[in-house]
Every structure is written in C-alpha cells, then in structure tokens.
Structure 1
C-alpha cells in the first residue's frame, strides 16, 4: 500500500523547500519546529506538520496536476502543493477570511511559484467550482459531513483528503470511494 502514495523524498523535499517559519506570524516563528498547530489569527491555525505530511502522502500529488487547497490560511499548504505539482501544474488556494487571504498571498509570493495562487472564497460556496474539475483537493478544515459539492469538483480520477467529523478521509473517483485514515482535530469548515 505504501508504494501507492508519494515516496518520502518528494514530500520531505517540499517541506525543506518551504519551511513552516515563513508562513507564521512573526510572534510564532520561534515555535515553527513545534509539532502542533500554531495560531495565524482569526481563530485559524497553521496545521501540525506531522498532520500536513500525512495528508500530503494520502493525497498523492503528481507533477502537472491541478490542485484545490481549501482553507489555504497562511499559504503553507498551497506552497507545498505547488512544489509537488511543479511549474506544469496549477494550485488554487481558497480562504474565507480576507486578512488571511492577504497574509497567505504574501507568503506564497515569496516562494516564487507563479503556478499557485490564493483567492478569497465566495461566501456560501465550498471550493471553487469555476475552475473544476481538480485532480486533487486538500481540505484543511473540518466539516460535520462529507461535502458533496467538493466531491463534485473532483476529476474522474481525482483524490480528495478531508477531515470529516474527526476522521481523516481519502475520497477517490470514480465512484467517490471513501477510506478512513485516523482521527484528527481541525478548525471547523465554514462556507
């Protein structure tokens, strides 16, 4: 089963290329090595590195893919995803909180990966159906149920990784096949 997902060197390379400290508020940067969530303001967090790593491995991002990053926050996961897809791919991060959109955009711009961007989420809309379908969708906030509107944004062979009601799910197409991958806690997903 392990060979179905990204080898450790690709994910580790993304982490080395885009250290967490560059995506934290100045007051939190000294704690960047802490393996736990850190506040980025507005009741949002920069996720625990071990959790982000596990999610990226489950997501199995490939060069050249189109990826949606829901709950982009500080831009860290968007930058990691951009590294994994490379210049032939595209990453769209969506974030609901306007100040975090600006913070994430600034942080992402510093990584010099113009094939990735962060936009403000439209209220009442999960993801961004205007640019669907996506090969991969990463969700860094927790809904109470699996959002069918995000499943609908997956390509025919797409994969989504999302924490739902405390359980990390990997959803694969065709057929929206769901597998469970441990218990996690995230901030609530708002639309």
Structure 2
C-alpha cells in the first residue's frame, strides 16, 4: 500500500482500542463512546487529521487527549521505530485502558501519561515535531504551540474548525483552517 496513513489504519485495529460493547461497531465511520464522556474519534476525521500532520519517520509526537490510545498507536506506526509518541490523557481510567491497549508496544517508543493538573500537554519532554489534539479547544492552545520545535506542526480543532499551526524557526506561526468538525471538549484543570 503506497499510502502510509491508510496502511497505518489497516495495521492498527480500532477494535483493539474500544470497550468490549463497542467493538462490534469498530468499522462504523462514527465516533464511539469509550466512557467518562469521551469518544474514540470517527475514522474519517482521524485520517484527515493525520494527513494535516504531515508525519514522517523518526519524528517526536505528542498526542493530547489520547483517550483509548488508538490515535497514539496510529501515530507510532507512522513515525516508525526511530520516532516516539507520548500520549497525554486527563481521565485516569482512560489512561489505564490506553496503556493496557498499548502494552505490546515498546514503552521507549510509545506511551500514555496521565495529564498533570494545571499543565496542558507534556512540556517536560518538549520540543515536539508534531502535536495532535483530539478534543475541541475554545481558543488556540498557546502552551501546545510553545511545545513545538522549529518547523513543528500542531493540528487541533478550535471552535469547531480544524486548525493547523506551523511554527517557524523565529518562533512565529502560520495558522490555517481545514473544515468544520465536532469533538468532545478539551478538558482542562
């Protein structure tokens, strides 16, 4: 398969990251409830976000709102063994479920951390080449832009619009919008 995103989505089974009662719906192109008011995002939306991220092998990626860990696993597949992915989840039970679903992955390569109170993202290991946010922000999350390295890229739904932010070497940003989407809200402390 020449399309790395489609190959990743074929290789990483969505059902492995869903609660037992939702697994029969894994092939449905819709968001699925995973508990605690959160969802596993619609596959079509995930694909669009991954395309906007413009991922490559060896990149360091932050996955904010990792939920069940499915997007974290997809990102890990796309950056390969030389890359790394840190998922961050605010709901402790979801963080535990995501970690269990990712138990077959090398923890040096991919893991999910519990979000720290009052901290957006995972600044302790910044900068990142890419940041993906799978929850709707009320405004552009500046703390996540600050965690990007030079040339880094952030994809985040902001007020219902998929927003792509590219950080230049001088710290400036280029912001573009890429369609309307619905997400659960980005939870904050």
TM-score by length of 2: 0.95
* Residue number in structure 1 paired with 2:79: 85
What displacement does 1:17 show? Answer: 1.0
Aligned equivalents of 1:176, 1:121: Cα separation in 2: 25
The Cα shift of 1:133 comes to 0.5
The TM-score, its normalising length taken from structure 1, stands at 0.94
Quote the Cα distance in structure 1 between the aligned partners of 2:146 and 2:126.
Answer: 9
Mapped contact 1:139–1:163 kept (Cα < 8 A): yes
Q: What does residue 134 of structure 1 align with?
A: 128
Q: Aligned equivalents of 2:102 and 2:158: distance in 1?
A: 27
Are residues 1:31 and 2:25 paired? yes
After superposition, residues 1-150 of structure 1 pair within 5 angstroms as 9-110=3-104, 112-114=105-107, 115-150=109-144
Tell me, in whole angstroms, the C-alpha distance in 2 between the residues paired with 1:54 and 1:183: 11
Structure 2: runs of 5 or more not aligned: none
8 Å CA contact 1:68–1:138 kept in 2: the answer is: yes
User: How far apart are the structure 2 equivalents of 1:23 and 1:29?
Assistant: 8
2:183 corresponds in structure 1 to 186
Per the TM alignment, residue 108 of structure 1 is displaced from its structure 2 partner at its CA by 1.3
Instruction: Measure the CA separation in 1 of the matches of 2:100 and 2:178.
Output: 33
Aligned partners of 1:22, 1:9: CA distance in 2, in Å? 22
8 Å CA contact 1:82, 1:113 repeated in 2: no
How far, CA to CA, are the matches of 1:25 and 1:147 in structure 2? Answer: 30
List structure 1 runs of 4+ shifted beyond 6 angstroms.
none
1:155-170 alignment to 2 at 5 Å? Answer: 155-170=149-164
Structure 1 residue 151, shift from structure 2 partner: 0.5
Q: CA deviation at 1:190?
A: 1.4
Q: CA RMSD in A?
A: 1.1
Describe the SS at the equivalent of 2:149. Answer: strand
